[in-house]
Amino acid sequence: MSTCSYESPWLTDEVRMFRATVRQFIQKEFLPHQDRWREQRRPDAAAWTAAGDAGLLLADVPDAYGGGGGTFAHEAVVVDELARAGIAFGSGIQSVVAHYILAYGSEHQKREWLPRMARGELVGAIAMSEPGAGSDLSGIQTTARRDNGYYVVNGSKTFVTNGGSASLVCVAAKTDSTVGGLKGISLVLVETPGLAGYRVGRPLDKVGMHAQDTCELFFDDVRIPAANLLGPAEGKGFSQMMDSLPYERLAVAVRAVAMAEHAVAITADYVKQRAAFGKTLLDFQNTRFKLAECMTVARVGRVFLDHCIERFLQGNLDDITTAMAKYWLTEAQCAIVDECVQLHGGYGYMTEYPIARMWTDSRVQRIYAGTNEIMKELIACAL
């Protein structure tokens, strides 16, 4: 181990062992299928149950509900290992949906949905964004109207990760259209198999993250049991989303640092073997300085991320610091990956090279889970 090596302070022996299991599973069960997943624009259905069997799903959900019984450290390890392997698999969104249910669901809802999600039998998705409302959720038009023992859902959602695979969609909808703005929004869980009036659009043609299905969803008089409301009363959706988004943002930050570190590692390997002007690329001072800068930024990012993870594990990570992590670490990730593409020359632009895929996969990190501009608005609230 070199003297400058660093290990996250929250990594216990048990989490290290879990990491080894996750890595082995990904190498054996996910990596060989990546080309096909990218072509079909979604993972195989069987990947979900395989991931469930291996303990990759809901790693930080109590075992009483079928989860792994771990902490966010376990979830972070899954996100990190998938990112390093260059795999866009929606287990992070699965966890986000599970945590909504865990935080606000009734005991019946937890027992009904969480064990099946942990086994990969139910695939979760979050449907907040709409064609006309992304950053500004006060503009959502989807409605869930109460009708006897049901909600009747109408509207459309876009950019839904796992949308094509999802069998349990957490939908943000207006349950009270008489009030404007963010009031009157509720979250309802929609079990989609065989559901009349529910339709999934074709996978959206993204610039990256090709193995992950991102779709539009359409709801046309979709009837769901009124008991599928999340929380004890209507109109709590916006505060539920605001309380839960930091979990998702921290996971995005974990992915950012993992990808940045991995980009530096694979680029260091590349420049050691690629020759130009009778030397290796590493012999050029520019290459060494650029990689030294990237490595330093990645390390600074890692230490800040670890600070956030430790505080999250202690239950005291605030929203502002989470926003800082999401914003700064994803910006750093994109800058590092872009520099690493440059150091690969033309090969860095070829999709068969992992660095090229990392480049296209990275860009969206600054957009989803709340854009980085929205993160800065949140941070500025603390001024």
Enumerate residues 193-232 that contact ligand FAD by CB under 6 A.
206, 209, 214
Stretch touching ligand FAD by CB under 6 A, among 141-149, 254-262, 350-358, 363-371: 363-371
- Closest CB to ligand FAD among 199 and 206? 206
Q: How far is the C-alpha of 130 from the C-alpha of 116, rounded, in Å? A: 28
Q: How many CB atoms lie within 10 A of CB 342?
A: 15
107 is catalytic: no
Nearest distance in Å: CB 283, ligand FAD: 39
Pick between residue 259 and residue 282 the one whose CB is nearest to ligand FAD. 259
* Catalytic, out of 81, 191, 234, 248: 248
* Shortest Å, Cβ 30 to ligand FAD: 19
* 115 near ligand FAD, rule: CB under 6 A: no
Residue 291 and residue 305: Cα distance in Å, rounded?
20
Pattern of binders to ligand FAD over 85-104, x per CB under 6 A? --------x-----------
- Per the structure block, which two tokens stand in for 25? 């599973």
8 Å CB contact between 33 and 44: yes
Q: Is 81 exposed, middle or buried (0-12, 13-18, 19+ CB in 10 A)?
A: buried
In the set 236, 368, 378, 379, which binds ligand FAD (CB under 6 A)? Answer: 368
**Torsion of the alpha carbons at 26, 112, 233 and 132, rounded to the nearest 10:** 40
SS3 category, 351:
coil
- Residue 364 binds ligand FAD (CB under 6 A): yes
> What distance in Å separates the CA atoms of residue 92 and residue 90, rounded to the nearest whole number?
5
Tokens in use for 84? 């390093």
Q: SS3 of 111, please?
A: helix
Q: How far is the CB of 73 from ligand FAD (least distance, A)?
A: 24
Query: Checking DSSP bridges between strand 168-174 and strand 214-225, what pairing results, if any?
Result: unpaired
The span of 22-30, 124-132, 187-195, 294-302 binding ligand FAD (CB under 6 A) equals 124-132
Query: Using the rule CB under 6 A, is 106 a contact of ligand FAD?
Result: no
Of 70-78, 153-161, 240-248, 346-354, which part binds ligand FAD (CB under 6 A)?
A: 153-161
Cβ proximity to ligand FAD: between 24 and 135 the closer is: 135
Amino acid in position 46: A
Least Å distance between CB 273 and ligand FAD?
34
| One of 67, 86, 115, 134 touching ligand FAD (CB under 6 A) | 134
Helix, strand, or coil here: 120?
coil
**Cα–Cα distance measured from residue 253 to residue 311, given in angstroms and rounded to the nearest whole number:** 14
Binding residue (CB under 6 A) for ligand FAD from 34, 95, 109, 161: 161
Q: Judged by CB under 6 A, which stretch of 34-42, 122-130, 182-190, 195-203 contacts ligand FAD?
A: 122-130
Q: What are phi and psi of 349, to 5 degrees?
A: -100, 0
Q: Which of 377, 380, 381, 382 is close enough to bind ligand FAD by CB under 6 A?
A: 377
Half-sphere exposure at residue 365, Cβ-oriented, CA atoms within 13 angstroms: 32
- Is 135 a residue that touches ligand FAD (CB under 6 A)? yes
* Integer Cα distance of 222 and 284 in angstroms: 62
**Least gap, CB of 135 to ligand FAD (angstroms):** 3
Within its chain, how far is the Cα of 41 from the centroid? 17
Cα–Cα distance measured from residue 322 to residue 12, given in angstroms and rounded to the nearest whole number: 23
Q: Which C-beta is closer to ligand FAD: that of 56 or that of 93?
A: 93
Residue type for position 102 = L
- Residues within the interface to ligand FAD (CB under 6 A): 93, 126-129, 134-135, 159-161, 206, 209, 214, 364, 367-368, 370-371, 373-374, 377
The residues that are catalytic are 248
